[in-house]
Amino acid sequence: MTSANPASPAQRNRAWRHIGRALAAAAAMAALTGCEDKNTFVAPPPPKVDVATPVQRAVTRYVEATGNTAPIKIVDLVARVQGFLQSIDYQDGTFVKQGTQLFTIEPETYKLKLEQAQAAEAGAQASLRQAEADFRRQTDLVQRQAVAQSTLDTSTSNRDNAQANLLQAQANTRLAEVNYGYTKVSAPFDGVVSAHMVSIGELVGVSSPTQLATIVAMDPIYVNFTVNEQDVLRIRAESARRGLTAADLKQFPIQVGLQTETGYPHEGRLDYVAPTINQSTGTLAVRGVVPNDKRVLLPGYFVRVRVPFTQEKNALLVPDTALGSDQGGRYLLVVGKDNTVEQRKVQIGPADSGLRVIESGLEPDDRVVIAGLLRVIPGQKIDPQVTKIDQSQASAK
């Protein structure tokens, strides 16, 4: 038999190349299969988020407004008699007590007029005594029929004229005393006196009263503010529920704070409530009185005002940072029993000691997301980290 032709070297090389390619392909397939086993997707764990139940406590409801301070008394000091200003008896801008002498208008002329009137009064009294003595004498003579009745009539007329002259003289004396008193201008009440508006030696009170200065009472001080119609309706409804009268409303406390002050450090009481609503603004004018013995409040200050009118025993409160907002209003992120986040629409109330009152939409046992709102979305499961709402950083009332 004839043996097969042995393969040439070229053929053997081609065969080995085919075998190498097959082994490489098999190795690649094995590698790919191994990678797929190692890169299988594993879902990340739920994010850890701080949650807390709302704070539940008594909360005082306030009517809040802005207003201005005004002096309880302010008076222009004027010269009520004519004369040259003799002295200025105070320092501009100082606090003075009631009765303190502030200005002196040359008193000598008015003192002389007073003495003249007093002398005339003394003469009238002497004339009246003489007329009364003559009247008694003539009355006795007429009773004894020693003189005619006409003589008694004349004596009676003289006595009556003397009495009238005395009354006139007494009135002149009183008028002279008043004018003499006007030469000394005194403080009508405790207050701060403005800078003087005239100089020593200037003629004042020539044709009309001349303003000398202004005195302003500083303690207590008025606080004027307005309340919108909606708040008025709420207050009236609460007052009717509690059986309060208009007199009771005027005893309500008010709290006042300046722009630079924290909270409402000044306390007073309501003093006046207007009887009608201003139709052009829809507001009710209200006034309070605040003690101001240290004169911290100056007339004309812009102030913040709040008036407590009711108290809610079990209000729910959360931090402002827990609140979100969208086109539908304000909302909270609440965690359900299955740890799924739910967006809950809420109605918010006033701030109280650094927390926000939630009027509706929240229950006392709801778990509220209080931190990390940007890391969670509604419908997402989370790992709730239960904590308590910190009230230590609450702002002062």
Q: What is the pLDDT of residue 303?
A: 96
Q: What is the CA radius of gyration of the chain?
A: 48
Backbone angles phi, psi at 188, to 5 degrees: -75, -15
16 Cβ contact list (under 8 Å, min separation 6)? none
Strand ordering across the sheet containing 95-96: 74-79, 210-216, 191-193, 95-96
Q: What Cα–Cα distance (Å) separates residue 315 from each residue in 44, 61, 167, 255, 322?
A: 38, 10, 76, 22, 17
The mean predicted confidence, pLDDT, of the chain is: 85
The domains spanning 62-71+219-311 and 108-182 adopt the same CATH topology: no
Q: What is the pLDDT of residue 393?
A: 46
Which tokens in the block code for residue 201?
């030696």
Backbone angles phi, psi at 45, to 5 degrees: -70, 155
Rounded distance, CA 227 to CA 161, Å?
66
Q: Hey, where are the domains in the chain?
A: 49-59+313-386, 62-71+219-311, 75-102+188-216, 108-182
Q: What is the pLDDT of residue 173?
A: 94
pTM for the whole thing? Answer: 0.69
270 close to 220: Cβ distance less than 8 angstroms: no
Which of 129-143, 305-319, 342-356 shows the lowest per-residue confidence on average (mean pLDDT)? 129-143
Rounded distance, CA 77 to CA 195, Å?
11
Q: What Cα–Cα distance (Å) separates residue 286 from each residue in 67, 132, 204, 243?
A: 10, 64, 40, 21
Average of pLDDT values for 169-190?
Answer: 94
Q: Return the CATH class of domain 62-71+219-311.
A: mainly beta
Residue with tokens 């509690």: 242
Highest mean pLDDT among 299-303, 318-322, 340-344: 299-303
Q: What is the pLDDT of residue 31?
A: 54
Confidence class for position 395, pLDDT limits 50, 70, 90: very low
In this predicted structure, the answer to whether residue 241 has a pLDDT above a threshold of 50 is: yes
Average of pLDDT values for 66-77?
Answer: 95
Instruction: Look at the domain 49-59+313-386 and name its fold.
Output: 2.40.420
Beta strands in 233-282 (DSSP E): 253-258, 266-273
Question: What value, to the nearest 5°, has the Cα angle with vertex 220 and ends 214 and 221?
Answer: 70
Average of pLDDT values for 282-287?
Answer: 92
249 close to 243: Cβ distance less than 8 angstroms: no
Q: What is the pLDDT of residue 18?
A: 61
Identify which of 124, 331, 327, 297 has the alpha carbon closest to the alpha carbon of residue 224: 297
Q: Which residues pair with 59 in a beta bridge?
A: 312
Q: What is the pLDDT of residue 23?
A: 59
Residue with tokens 């009355």: 139
CATH number for 108-182 (one of 2.60.120, 1.10.287, 1.10.3210, 3.40.50): it is: 1.10.287
Instruction: Write the pLDDT tens digit of every residue in 194-236.
Output: 999 999 999 998 888 899 999 999 999 999 999 998 888 888 8
324 close to 331: Cβ distance less than 8 angstroms: yes
Residue 291 is classified by DSSP as -
Average of pLDDT values for 90-95?
Answer: 94
Pure H helices in 83-228: 108-143, 149-182
Q: What Cα–Cα distance (Å) separates residue 382 from each residue in 46, 219, 340?
A: 5, 59, 6
Q: What is the pLDDT of residue 132?
A: 86
Q: What is the pLDDT of residue 4?
A: 47
Rounded distance, CA 168 to CA 120, Å?
10
CA max distance for the chain:
214
Residue 309 is classified by DSSP as E
In this predicted structure, the answer to whether residue 396 has a pLDDT above a threshold of 50 is: no
Instruction: Write the pLDDT tens digit of every residue in 11-67.
Output: 655 655 666 566 555 655 655 555 555 567 677 788 888 889 999 888 888 888 999
Please state whether the peptide bond connecting residue 71 to the residue before it is cis, i.e. omega within 30 degrees of 0: no
Average of pLDDT values for 141-160?
Answer: 80
Confidence class for position 183, pLDDT limits 50, 70, 90: very high
Provide the percentage of residues in the chain whose pLDDT is more than 70. 88
Average of pLDDT values for 167-193?
Answer: 94
Query: Residue 216, CB half-sphere, CA atoms under 13 Å: how many?
Result: 18
Q: What is the pLDDT of residue 321?
A: 87
Domain 75-102+188-216: give its CATH code.
2.40.50.100
Question: What value, to the nearest 5°, has the Cα angle with vertex 117 and ends 111 and 120?
Answer: 145
Identify which of 286, 362, 293, 292 has the alpha carbon closest to the alpha carbon of residue 330: 362
Rounded distance, CA 168 to CA 92, Å?
42
Rounded distance, CA 261 to CA 190, Å?
27
196 close to 212: Cβ distance less than 8 angstroms: yes
Rounded distance, CA 41 to CA 48, Å?
21
Confidence class for position 237, pLDDT limits 50, 70, 90: confident
Which of 150-154, 220-224, 273-277, 379-383 shows the lowest per-residue confidence on average (mean pLDDT)? 150-154
Confidence class for position 2, pLDDT limits 50, 70, 90: very low
- Report which secondary-structure segment, H or E, holds 4: none
Higher pLDDT, 64 or 390: 64
